[in-house]
Amino acid sequence: MKITYYGHSCFGITTKTSSLLFDPFIRPNELAKKIEVDKIPCDYMLISHGHEDHVADALEIAKRTNSRIVSNFEIVSWFEKQGINQIHPMNIGGEWNFDFGSVRMVNAVHSSVLPDGTYGGNPGGFLLNIEGKQIYYAGDTALHMDMKLIAELWKPDIAFLPIGDNFTMGINDARIASDFIDCNEIIGMHYDTFPYIVIDREKAIQTFKKSNKKLTLINIGDSINF
Whether 178 and 191 have beta carbons less than 8 Å apart is answered as: no
Q: Which is nearer to Mn ion, 46 or 130 (CB)?
A: 46
Question: Does 51 sit near Ni ion (CB under 5 A)?
Answer: yes
Least Å from the CB of residue 129 to Mn ion: 25
Among 74, 140, 165, 173, binds Ni ion (CB under 5 A): 140
Residues 81-120: x/- map of binding to Mn ion (CB under 5 A)? ----------------------------------------
CA atoms within 13 A on the CB side of 136: 31
- Residue 223, C-beta contacts closer than 8 angstroms, at least 6 positions apart: 2, 3, 4, 5
Among 140, 165, 173, 192, binds Mn ion (CB under 5 A): 140
Q: Are strands 158-162 and 185-189 parallel, antiparallel or unpaired?
A: parallel
Q: Which is nearer to Mn ion, 101 or 162 (CB)?
A: 162
CA atoms within 13 A on the CB side of 141: 24
Question: Does 74 sit near Mn ion (CB under 5 A)?
Answer: no
Size of residue set near Ni ion by CB under 5 A: 2
Question: Does 165 sit near Mn ion (CB under 5 A)?
Answer: no
- Residue 141, C-beta contacts closer than 8 angstroms, at least 6 positions apart: 107, 108, 109, 110, 123, 125, 162, 168, 169
Question: Does 53 sit near Mn ion (CB under 5 A)?
Answer: yes
First to last CA, the chain: 5
Which positions lie near Ni ion, rule CB under 5 A? 51, 140
- Residues making contact with Mn ion (CB under 5 A): 51, 53, 140
